[in-house]
């Protein structure tokens, strides 16, 4: 399983528009994609409610995981979204 650790830099954290973009990108995958706060329980990265419920704030670290064909490219794209200012 591939994973990326990312520090969220957006002032709003992973909420509203960044969260929607993140979820829309994850939903393109035909395999499971998860997100968790560092040390936390993973949730589906394809669910806007699950992502918002994590309450990821600026400066917090997340772990994004996926397994399947093209997972590395997808994780790179998700990491860029999460790390965007």
DSSP symbols for 7-74: E--STT-S-HHHHHHHHHHHHT-SS-EEEEETTS--EETT-HHHHHHT---TT-EEEEEE-STTHHHH
**Active-site pick, 4, 15, 37, 46:** 15
With CA atoms as reference, report the closest residue to 52 among 21, 25, 23, 15. Answer: 15
Can 15 be counted among the known catalytic residues? yes
Residues taking part in catalysis: 15
């Amino acid at each position: 399983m591939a994973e990326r650790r990312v520090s969220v830099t957006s002032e709003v954290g992973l909420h509203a528009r960044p969260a929607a973009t993140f979820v829309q990108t994850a939903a393109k995958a035909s395999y499971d994609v998860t997100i968790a706060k560092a040390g936390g329980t993973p949730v589906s990265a394809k669910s806007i409610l699950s992502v918002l419920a994590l309450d990821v704030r600026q400066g917090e670290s997340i772990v994004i995981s996926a397994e399947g064909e093209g997972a590395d490219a997808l994780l790179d794209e998700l990491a860029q979204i999460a790390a965007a200012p």
